[in-house]
């Protein structure tokens, strides 16, 4: 791969992932360093997320499927529909970035905030790739530094070439095809971290979230993508929602005995059960600019019946997101 392609893909990779802590005692400092590095790569912009800076907000409802509570006692899996706020985004820390910008690396995001019936909230934070490129915080920081050190005048092999050559999971993540979807509503999203789900009988299982468009995935050609308006992903979804709700199925892929739950680079086999939990209906576009800066999605913002696994990524993500949130309030 040429430097331009590798660097663009790697920056997009950096835009899509979150660090893993080398130790619990170092979590806060690692999180701060991660946000610092994102600000170095993309610039620090007022009232803007360090990562997934460009987004579009919608509201809707989640309606649980019959039997969803067999997996977990979580409030939103029982009873009446639950209001949700949904944020779709492009990767990277560039405000108002065009969908086609190579710095995105083809990565999109979907975050869902459930407004629970007890007055609480729960958050899901997902990306458009099933799997994760690195397994340690040191490797992630190495990736960020390699991107920053791999300018056009860097000697060959560049730091990013060396890093990807030494990390097969990262190389596979970077080079996997990532076609342009028709809209944010025609793409699947994955929670790459494992969580523990417990039902009323006390039965606990590990699983990973995924969200799949009811109408199926749909993409445009490279030529069509290049010719589109810069924010077609959000604009096309807004137009669709104005006509009818855009629907997704919320699912959990359940781990089998022995499947790794603490290493997000390890994608579980396709034959693992997929449990359908219900439908997310996106029903209305919101004024993103007016409320964007008030919203914070945290992967550790859970509810009874859903708990953390041994995946250390999740708590570090919360530390980094909170740090970024504090900076955009300044």
Q: Which of 113, 133, 115 is nearest to 123 (CA)?
A: 113
Distance of alpha carbon 133 from its chain centroid, rounded?
13
- Is 52 known to be catalytic? yes
Sign of the four-CA dihedral 161, 167, 172, 174: negative
Cis previous bond, 126, omega within 30: no
CA 75 from chain center: how many Å? Answer: 23
Q: What share of the chain is helix, strand, coil (3-state, %, to 5)?
A: 35, 25, 40
Burial of 263 (0-12, 13-18, 19+ CB in 10 A): middle
Check 45, 47, 52, 167 and give the catalytic one: 52
Q: Which residues are catalytic?
A: 52
């Amino acid at each position: 791969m040429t430097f331009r392609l590798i660097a663009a893909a790697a920056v997009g990779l950096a835009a899509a992932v979150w660090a893993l802590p080398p130790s619990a005692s170092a979590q806060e400092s690692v999180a701060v360093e991660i946000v610092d590095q994102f600000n170095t790569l993309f610039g620090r912009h007022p009232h803007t997320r360090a990562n997934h800076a460009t987004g579009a907000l919608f509201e809707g409802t989640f309606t649980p499927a019959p039997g969803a509570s067999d997996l977990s006692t979580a409030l939103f899996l029982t009873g009446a529909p639950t209001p949700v706020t949904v944020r779709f985004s492009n990767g990277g820390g560039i405000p108002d970035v065009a969908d086609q910008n190579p710095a995105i690396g083809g990565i999109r995001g979907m975050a869902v905030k459930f407004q629970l019936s007890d007055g609480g909230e729960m958050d899901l934070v997902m990306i458009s790739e099933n799997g994760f490129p690195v397994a340690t915080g040191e490797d992630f920081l190495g990736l960020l530094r390699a991107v920053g050190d791999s300018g056009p005048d860097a000697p060959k092999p560049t730091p990013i070439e060396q890093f990807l050559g030494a990390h097969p999971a990262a190389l596979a993540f970077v080079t996997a095809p990532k076609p342009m979807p028709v809209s944010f509503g025609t793409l699947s999203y994955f929670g790459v971290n494992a969580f523990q789900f417990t039902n009323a009988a006390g039965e606990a299982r590990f699983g990973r979230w995924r969200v799949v468009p009811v109408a199926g995935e749909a993409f445009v050609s490279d030529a069509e993508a290049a010719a589109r308006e810069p924010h077609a992903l959000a604009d096309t979804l807004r137009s669709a929602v104005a006509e009818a709700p855009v629907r997704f199925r919320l699912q959990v892929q359940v781990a089998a005995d022995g499947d790794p739950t603490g290493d997000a680079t390890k994608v579980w086999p396709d034959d693992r059960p997929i449990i359908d939990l219900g439908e997310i209906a996106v029903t209305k576009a919101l004024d993103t600019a007016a409320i964007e800066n008030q919203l914070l999605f945290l992967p550790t913002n859970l509810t009874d019946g859903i708990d953390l696994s041994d995946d250390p990524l999740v708590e570090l993500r919360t530390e980094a997101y909170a740090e970024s949130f504090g900076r955009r309030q300044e």
